[in-house]
Structure 1
Amino acid sequence: MKYPTDLTENQWQYIKKTMNLKERKRKYPLLLIWNSLMYLIKTGCQWRMLPKDFPKWQLVYYYYIRWTELGYFDLILEKLRMKVRIKKGQRAEASLGIMDSQSVRWGNNRGLHGVDGNKKIKGIKRHVLVDKNGFLIAVMVCVANIHDSKAGLLLLRLLREELMNFKCILADAGYRGDFLDKAHSLYSYLVKVVSRDKEKQAKKEFKPVSKRWVIERTFAWFDNDRRLCRNYELLHESSENMTKLSAIKLLLNKI
């Protein structure tokens, strides 16, 4: 049975080439495994509730863990982002980054969680960095009670370990305090805080903040996938991988 989330032949060939998959005899083709993951992300179903049209959930989960450990999701995300940027007439590597956090309600009471006192949300926070198109570059998940300025430094360390260079990173007023100085002294990143217009805010008028609205749209893209609108993952690493799969699904539709 065909599902709307199934990969097209062109999309599958791109993934196959990027992962350098070799042809060999398998009980289930790897295309079915990828279709299972895309279905899981979009519908938000449990692993054990995957339709019988797909391979057994244990096999799908096995490949999910294996590909995570081999770093294939990061590789595919990076290659796809570069391809789409070049297609849009941009440089392959982004020079401008936009960072922000998204508080997500918990859906699994066994997973680590905290309370975001500002937004009154119990769950986790996704700290995300995107390019000017809103395409995901990096994601780091933590409990919701950790302040953005502290978690933001962990995200920047992740970027530095992956040797990513940016001329400037835009952030909101949540990344205050000595965050800007530490970002520059520890990781050599220039972070610029872009705040809302105080007059507009006092009059309760909504006006998108220049450049920063892009990452808000990215969060809206994530919420379109039911697996991400709540945090159903037990581990933060799994939450990060689900976010990357969602971004991969989005970029595959743009190649």
Structure 2
Amino acid sequence: MRQKRYSSDLTDSQWEQIKSYFATGRRRKFHLRYHVLDAILYIVKTGTQWRMLPGGFAPWQTAYYYFRRWREEGRIRCILSITCRSARRQAGRHGEPSALIVDCQSVPSARTGGISSFDAFKKVKGRKRHIAVDMQGLLWGLVVHAAGDHETQWALQLLAPVASRLSRVETVFADQAYRGLEETIDRELDWELQVVESDDKPGFSVDPKRWIVERTYGWFGGWRRLDREYERRTDSSETMVRFAMLRIVLNRLD
């Protein structure tokens, strides 16, 4: 166990929730919780570079090895799905949602290369985080793509994998950018797409249902690695988001 602890570290009760998904018979020099998982969460929370991990963690090469391995396995995605179900049940709801809200967030890219383009509407050069959340704001679908791509180009690629995992979803709420996809969503997924109209009154207004997904983006704002797109690969970006969301969900279960 490390001597110095950070606010991004997992608590004992949070580790109990997920440790069975990391159990193996191998003996390791570094503890998966204290030296690897906490190291990755530290990076996502503080935005530091891999090579600048504090000395109490495993070497950055080891932490990055597990990050890359879990990314390729899809392990964090599966654990997040399980913990989201647990969080919903703890709140007195069914484990699977019956409605989702979709939206995009344009994020500027750092000088790391990879997929990137200019979002003319938001005036941002970088990528879009395209997410689907339930009424609790919990993440069920995520895809990262170039900021210049319109939402309608990626809506089905976002929702189709979700449809394969969730059987109760009947309705998807979205803003006007998704208008025109109603028949496609109904035909391909047998879901109803409801476009939420914005209030035309001047000044700030809260859009029904859509404020929930905006709140989720607000949660991401507390994780500095998500402030910009630092990853060369889009699947690395998605994994960083899932790590942040996993920690948020575990806070609910703690």
Which shifted more, 104-113 or 45-54?
A: 104-113
8 A Cα contact 2:118 2:124, kept in partner: yes
- Tell me how far apart the structure 2 counterparts of residues 54 and 89 of structure 1 sit (CA, whole Å): 38
SS at match of 1:128: strand
Amino acid at match of 1:216: E
The TM-score with structure 2 as length reference comes to 0.94
- Compared CA separation, residues 211 and 228, structure 1 to 2 (3 A): same
For 2:24, the equivalent position in structure 1 comes to: 22
* 1:60 paired residue among 60, 63, 88: 63
Q: Which amino acid in structure 1 is aligned with residue 215 of structure 2?
A: R
**CA displacement 1:19-50 (0-9 Å, x = unmatched):** 15035422111112110011011001111111
CA separation in 1, counterparts of 2:113 and 2:26?
39
Residue 186 of structure 1 aligns with which residue?
188
- Matches of 2:22 and 2:231 in 1, distance apart? 29
Which blocks of at least 5 consecutive residues in structure 1 are unaligned?
none
Partner of 1:130: 133
Following the alignment from structure 2 to structure 1, what is the Cα–Cα distance between the partners of residues 187 and 102?
A: 18
Aligned runs of 1:147-162 on 2, under 5 Å?
Answer: 147-162=150-165
2:249 pairs, out of 240, 248, 251, with 251
Partner of 2:232: 234
Shift of 1:206: 1.4
Question: How far did residue 145 of structure 1 move?
Answer: 0.6
> CA shift at 1:205, angstroms?
2.3
Q: Indicate whether 1:196 and 2:198 are aligned.
A: yes
RMSD of Structure 2 on Structure 1 (CA)? 1.3
The more displaced of 37-46 and 68-77 is: 68-77
Distance 1:20 1:73 in 2: 10
Equivalent position of 2:206 in the other structure: 208
Q: Specify the SS of the correspondent of 1:215.
A: helix
Does structure 2 retain, via aligned residues, the 8 Å contact 1:108–1:231? no
Whole-Å separation in 1 of the counterparts to 2:101 and 2:61? 37
Do structure 1's residue 2 and structure 2's residue 5 form an aligned pair?
yes
Distance 1:195 1:4 in 2: 40
Aligned identity (percent) is 37
Q: Choose from 93, 98, 102 the match for 2:101.
A: 98
* Contiguous gaps of at least 5 residues in structure 2: none
Instruction: Quote how far apart the aligned CAs of 1:14 are.
Output: 1.4
Cα shift at 1:6: 1.1
- Partner residue of 1:113 out of 108, 112, 116: 116
User: Quick check: 1:108–1:234 contact (8 Å CA) kept in 2?
Assistant: no
- Is residue 108–residue 233 contact of structure 1 (8 Å, CA) maintained in 2? no
> Whole-Å Cα distance in 2 between the matches of residues 246 and 164 of structure 1?
26
How far, CA to CA, are the matches of 2:179 and 2:78 in structure 1? 32
TM-score with structure 1 length normalisation?
Answer: 0.94
Aligned partners of 2:96 and 2:166 also within 8 Å:
no
Partner of 1:50: 53
Partner of 1:176: 179
Question: Counterpart of 1:68 in structure 2: which amino acid?
Answer: R
**Could you tell me whether the CA contact under 8 Å between 2:185 and 2:193 is conserved in 1?**
yes
Following TM superposition, by how much is the alpha carbon of 1:169 offset from its aligned partner in structure 2, in angstroms?
A: 0.5
Distance 1:152 1:94 in 2: 18
Give yes or no for contact 2:163–2:169 (8 Å, CA) kept in 1. Answer: no
Distance 1:69 1:148 in 2: 26
Q: Which residue of 2 aligns with 1:75?
A: 78
- Length, aligned pairs only: 249
- Return the alpha-carbon distance in structure 2 between the equivalents of residues 207 and 37 of structure 1: 37
